[in-house]
């Protein structure tokens, strides 16, 4: 045999038809004249094409395996009609399904999703609320009900593709006659042409309008939460189904509380005497004013929890907590009587010259570094 077609494609003699096709596809992508115009590459492309034509045909492959070369009498040239001008995309279509009939595509397409920012107060995010929202969107055209045609008319069948939505072209190649399909350039693949578009929507099948929707915001949402409202987005072209509307929650800052998850934090400032003797202060919670006991000896920085006074858990029962941070104020200016009283108190408590108490920092750099090393040693 003058040619070893298996070696040309780089496959075993027992290779399956699928392996032969994959090998040819890989080589054809590299060597096709439309990709690589070098003369030596063109000659190599003709060789792999001839090899594929033999090995992909069961009758020719059997003949070759028995010792005969199907191209022995025709010479080493490629199949009839093959040349550098044969489109590379048509070769791929012939092998991998490009020639199949797909039919006309629908004019109706799903609408786009839309996002709307909704600003809420803390009390609204904590307990939920109902809002009426104004949305600028696209709806089905009432005049044509989404068809895009003027009243009393209908789309005409495309006279180029005859309603198929695609046109076919027959090209002669090394495989014989190869039929390829392309979307019809006249109708865009729809199979029909709107010659009398609807004057209201200009053939789009939808119009823009402003509408109001009532939305229930669940309790427990927070800044950045997205709520999906299925089917509340824009209607698609050609009367297609609507997309979804997403609400992006923006929580306004609160004048008293800072939110951390479902917990709330606030700071209360009390005089030094109140911290020493104990007192009661009124805190404005989300549920209204409540008394908070400040126990005698309360220190600055101490945290007093109020359980269940935070934000409701999203999609769950229960609430977070309200954490009250105490800040003890030390008086800056004292009159003579106040100063004398404090001096007497200091003397009675033996605190005229306190030695001071020192402790390692809780969150200093070196303590954090030590904790890291200790965790690795465990």
CA–CA separation, 19 and 9 (whole Å): 10
284, containing H or E segment: strand 279-285
Spell out the residues 6+ positions from residue 90 whose beta carbon is closer than 8 angstroms to its own.
98, 171, 173, 178, 180
Pairing status of strand 322-329 against strand 303-306: antiparallel
Q: Mark 332-370 as b/e (b = at least 16 C-beta within 10 Å).
A: eeeeeeeeeeeeeeeeeeeeeeeeeeeeeeeeeeeeeee
CA–CA separation, 37 and 323 (whole Å): 76
CA–CA separation, 297 and 344 (whole Å): 19
Backbone angles phi, psi at 337, to 5 degrees: -65, -45
58-65 and 39-55 are packed helices; what angle lies between their axes, rounded to 10 degrees?
Answer: 100
198 is in an annotated binding site: yes
Q: If you search the block for the tokens 């699928």, which residue do you land on?
A: 18
List the Cα angle 317/320/325 in 5-degree steps: 165
CA–CA separation, 181 and 170 (whole Å): 9
266 is in an annotated binding site: no
Tokens, residue 2: 């003058």
DSSP class of residue 175 equals T
Tokens, residue 184: 């019809």
17-31 and 39-55 are packed helices; what angle lies between their axes, rounded to 10 degrees?
Answer: 170
141 is in an annotated binding site: yes
Is residue 125 classed as helix, strand or coil in its secondary structure? helix
Pairing status of strand 263-271 against strand 322-329: parallel
Among candidate residues 148, 165, 174, the one with its CA nearest the CA of residue 95: 174
**Numbered residues of the known binding site for Zn(2+):** 141, 144, 158, 161, 184, 187, 198, 201
**Numbered residues of the known binding site:** 141, 144, 158, 161, 184, 187, 198, 201
């Amino acid at each position: 045999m003058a040619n070893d077609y298996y070696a040309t494609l780089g496959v075993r003699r027992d290779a399956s038809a699928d392996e032969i096709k994959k090998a040819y596809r890989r080589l054809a992508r590299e060597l096709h004249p439309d990709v690589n115009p070098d003369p030596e590459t063109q000659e190599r492309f003709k060789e792999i094409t001839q090899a594929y034509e033999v090995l992909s045909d069961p009758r020719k492959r059997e003949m070759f395996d028995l010792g005969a070369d199907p191209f022995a009498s025709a010479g080493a040239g490629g199949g009839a009609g093959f040349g550098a001008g044969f489109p590379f995309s048509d070769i791929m279509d012939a092998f991998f399904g490009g020639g199949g009939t797909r039919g006309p595509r629908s004019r109706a397409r799903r609408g786009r999703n839309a996002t709307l920012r909704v600003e809420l107060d803390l009390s609204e995010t904590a307990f939920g609320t109902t809002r009426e929202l104004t949305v600028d969107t696209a709806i089905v055209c009432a005049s044509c009900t989404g068809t895009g045609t003027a009243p009393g008319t209908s789309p005409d069948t495309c006279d180029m593709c005859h309603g198929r939505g695609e046109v076919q072209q027959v090209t002669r190649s090394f495989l014989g006659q190869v039929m390829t399909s392309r979307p019809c350039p006249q109708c865009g693949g729809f199979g029909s042409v709107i010659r009398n578009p609807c004057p209201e929507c200009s053939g789009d099948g939808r119009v823009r309008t402003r509408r109001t929707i009532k939305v229930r915001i669940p309790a427990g949402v927070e800044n950045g939460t997205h709520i999906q409202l299925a089917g509340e987005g824009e209607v698609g072209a050609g009367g297609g189904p609507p997309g979804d509307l997403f609400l992006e929650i923006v929580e306004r800052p609160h004048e008293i509380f800072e939110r951390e998850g479902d917990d709330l934090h606030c700071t209360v400032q009390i005089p030094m005497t109140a911290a020493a003797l104990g007192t009661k202060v009124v805190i404005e919670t989300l549920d209204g004013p409540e008394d908070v006991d400040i126990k005698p000896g309360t220190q600055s920085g101490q945290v007093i929890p109020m359980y269940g006074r935070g934000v409701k858990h999203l999609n769950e029962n229960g609430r977070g907590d309200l954490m009250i941070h105490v800040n003890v104020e030390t008086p800056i200016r004292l009159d003579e009587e106040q100063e004398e009283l404090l001096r007497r108190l200091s003397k009675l408590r033996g605190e005229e010259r306190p030695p001071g108490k020192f402790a390692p920092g809780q969150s200093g750099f070196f303590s954090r570094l030590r904790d890291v090393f200790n965790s690795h040693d465990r």
